[in-house]
């Protein structure tokens, strides 16, 4: 289950508000519609306990299921829309962190040895071209296992994170 903060949760997270425990507040901070109960498990000593805490926060009005806010998908979108808008600073460091995160989310459980190899390759990739070579390997594997659409969205995200190349 993916969770989102409610207005009540945002009020709780404002400075000076402290009606929840630190772990509950941490769960609120992570509830962005992209993290599941599995992601919350380490905060609570396991997925089951995280689930109990999340359900209690839902019942108390701090969280809601992400699907509750999603509108039905349009039948034929005019143009592809990014899943998560990014208007932050473009940088190699940001791109690199995204690739490490992607490695964890897409490869660590399915193929730990491949995840280790990708992490090592990313650590060794000191230049843009080397980092992009690792990214191409990741995208090819994502396409093989999750489909062309998922691979295209990852490719698009990388393009939005990379700094624009300037002619020298």
pLDDT at 47: 80
Q: Which residues, given as ranges, of the chain have pLDDT below 70? A: 1, 67-88, 166-168
pTM of the model: 0.47
Q: What is the pLDDT of residues 105-134, one digit of tens each?
A: 888 888 888 889 998 998 998 888 899 999
Give me the residue spans of the domains in the chain: 3-68, 92-161
For residue 166, with 0-12 CB atoms within 10 Å meaning exposed, 13-18 middle and 19 or more buried, which class applies?
Answer: exposed
Helix axis angle, 47-59 to 37-44, nearest 10°: 100
Question: Rounded to whole angstroms, how far apart are CA atoms 104 and 74?
Answer: 31
Question: Rounded to whole angstroms, how far apart are CA atoms 129 and 55?
Answer: 45
**Dmax (CA) of the chain:** 58
Torsion of CA 128, 130, 132, 134, to 10 degrees: -150
CB 106 within 8 A of CB 144: no
Residue listed under structure tokens 């080397």? 130
HEC string of 86-146 equals: CCCCCCHHHHHHHHHHHHHHHCCCCCHHHHHHHHHHHHHCCCHHHHHHHHHHHHHHHHHHH
DSSP 147: -
pLDDT at 133: 92
Helix axis angle, 128-146 to 148-161, nearest 10°: 160
pLDDT at 136: 92
End-to-end Cα separation, the chain, in angstroms: 48
Phi, psi of 4 (to 5 degrees): -130, 150
């Amino acid at each position: 289950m993916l969770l989102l903060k409610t207005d009540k949760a945002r009020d709780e997270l404002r400075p000076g508000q402290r009606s929840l425990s630190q772990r509950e507040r941490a769960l609120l901070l992570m509830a962005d519609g992209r993290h599941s109960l599995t992601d919350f498990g380490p905060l609570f000593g396991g997925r089951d306990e995280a689930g109990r805490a999340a359900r209690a926060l839902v019942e108390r009005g701090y969280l809601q299921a992400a699907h509750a806010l999603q509108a039905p998908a349009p039948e034929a979108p005019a143009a592809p829309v990014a899943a998560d808008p990014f208007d932050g600073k473009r940088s190699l460091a940001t791109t690199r962190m995204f690739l490490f995160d992607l490695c964890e989310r897409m490869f660590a459980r399915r193929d730990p040895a491949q995840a280790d190899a990708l992490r090592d390759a990313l650590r060794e990739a000191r230049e843009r071209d080397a980092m992009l070579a690792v990214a191409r390997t990741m995208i090819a594997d994502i396409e093989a296992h999750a489909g062309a659409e998922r691979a295209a969205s990852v490719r698009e995200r990388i393009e939005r994170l990379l700094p624009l190349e300037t002619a020298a």
